[in-house]
Structures are given as C-alpha cells and as structure tokens.
Amino acid sequence: MNELTRKRCEQLIDNRDKVKSVFAWDGGLIQLCCAGIYSEKGKNVDVAELKRSKELLKEKVGIFSNFRGTARSPIASMLAVSGNPEGTLDKGLKVYELLKKEFWSSSYLPLAAMVLARMAEPYQYKQIAVRTREIYNRMKAEHPFLTSGEDSALCALMALSEKTDDELIEDIESCYQILKGNFLTANSVQSLSHVLALYEGTAQEKCDRTMALFYKLKESGRKYGTEYELPTLGVLAMTGADLDEVVLEMAQIDDWLSGQKGFGLFGSVTRKQRLMYAGILAEKDYIEDSTLQTAAVNGTIAVIIAQEAAMCAAIAASSAAAANNGSSN
C-alpha cells in the first residue's frame, strides 16, 4: 500500500473514532458512513463543528421531522463538512419543501434534498425537483415493485445529469436486463444500473467491465457484497483504471482495515461492508485521475455525480439498517 493510501485509511479510522464521540449510540456502520463523508472530501472531523451541526438540526427542525430520522447523523456530517452548516441546512430545507410537493414524505427524502443542496444552484432547485419526480415516475413504470422512496436520492442525482430522461431510462433498463441474472437482489441491481447510466459507453461495455471487476475480486479471495455495496463497484469499474491494479489495492486496504478495531472477526462491520469501504478508499485515486483526464465537462460532472451516488447508497443502507435494528429492540 502506498503512503498516500495508508494516510487515507488512517484518516477514515480517526474520523470514525471522532464521530463515535458525537454519535455514541449509533451503530458502527452509521459511524463509519459519517466518517466516509469526511474522508470523501479529504477532511478531518472537527468534533466541535460536528456537535454544532448536530445541535443545529435540533434547533432548526422539529422532533418529528425526517431530517432527525434515520439519516440524522449523516446529514449532520454533511452540514459540518460543508463549511457553512446553517446556510447548507437552509438550502437543504428549501429543496426538501420542493421535493415534498413531488413525493410522499420519507426518511430518504432529506438525503435527496441535501444532495441537491450540495450540488445545484438555488435557481435550479425547482426544475431539478420536478425532474427528479419525472425520472422516478419513469423508473416506477419500468419496475413498480422495485422502485420506492429509497430511490429518491439517486433520482435526484440523475436529475443533475446532462443526459436526457429518455437516455437515462433506456441506459438504466439496458444495464438492468444485462445484470439481473448475475445477482439475486433485484433492488441492488437497479441501484447499480442507476450509477452505470451516468457514464458514457454502451450498456454492454459498462456491465462487462463491472462484472469483470466482480469476478477478479472473487478470484483473489475477496467476495464483493451483492446488496447495497454494488453501486460502489460500478464507480470503481468505470474509472478506467487497470482492474488488476484496482483489485490489488483493494486487497491491501482490506487487509489493513481487518487489523483495525471494529473491522475484524468480531467487529460491527462485516467483511463485505469492509471490502466496500476498501473500494471507497481506493476509488479516490482512480476517480481523481479519471477526472483530470476527462476533457468534456459533462464527463467530469458524471464522475462526481456517480461518486456521490455510491456514497448515497451506503448512507441509505446504513440508515435502513439502523431503523431495522431500532424497531427490533
């Protein structure tokens, strides 16, 4: 493992431990997810700032608001990492009100609102909120039993794409049909298809490369998760990096993480979740290289949106796990 990658790994662990001091009652996966939000931006957790963002949520939104639901901790982390927590929350709440006109309220809608607040300009909010619903409706028509509120954040990201709705839906459906025979969880295949649709290239080429990475990891003794981990696999596959190199780096990171508290045999993070975070840590190098090499602005935007989509999938899954654990206690 090179020195830069090791420092990135150490930063994730340090960030997780600091997050734990603020959100002590959250599960290990939620805490790691919050740490990932910081690490994705290359930032260290400022505990005082994170506490202020946590309190800001309490001050600005009511106790029954979805902003204080299962995604509360990741949203507080998004606020803290923004550098302007109050302004970012105000924007998020503004987008949320627009989205509520288009969607039934759900625990995932605040996440979609925060994504748009971070990546769009205020004058675009209304138009993007409407487009988010239009994309969602098109997806629902294709897969009525698979598409639900948890897809709203990914739909919001797709609404930022310069591809047309027809191009996005056609690409999603083509990828889904190619991939569905490879994995048992249809909902996760749909999420992976969402991410792949953000990239250029034919559906067959994108799916072939994604599956090639999946099998190379398996051959190396690392079985990649086939549920909410899949969107990150798609981002890694689409970086254009040498797949054998990606597998080697992920294996090195995975080995290092396995020796850290909380990641080992009796840790709160499973082996598949650990490998997903190894992918998230590895992809930063390859995404930066891919972005620098991309001449077209739209291509650069697609890379950034897809990276956000992978993190959103991890946040949504972590929040859902927390909600399930809470309801079973």
- In whole numbers, what is the pLDDT of the chain averaged over residues? 85
pLDDT tens track for 272-312: 889 988 988 888 777 654 433 333 333 444 555 655 666 66
Half-sphere exposure of 28 (CA within 13 A, CB side): 14
Is residue 253 a contact partner of residue 285, using CB atoms and an 8 Å limit? no
As a whole number of angstroms, the distance between CA 13 and CA 38 comes to 11
Burial 128-167 (b: 16+ CB within 10 A, else e): bbebbbebbebbeeebeebbebbbbbbbbbbbbbebeeee
Residue 2: DSSP 8-state = -
Q: In 3D, which of 283, 316, 35, 32 has the Cα closest to residue 190?
A: 316
| Identity of the residue numbered 268 | S
Quick one: pLDDT at residue 187?
A: 87
Whole-structure pTM value: 0.87
Distance CA 13, CA 318 (A): 17
Q: Which two tokens stand for residue 261?
A: 């508290």
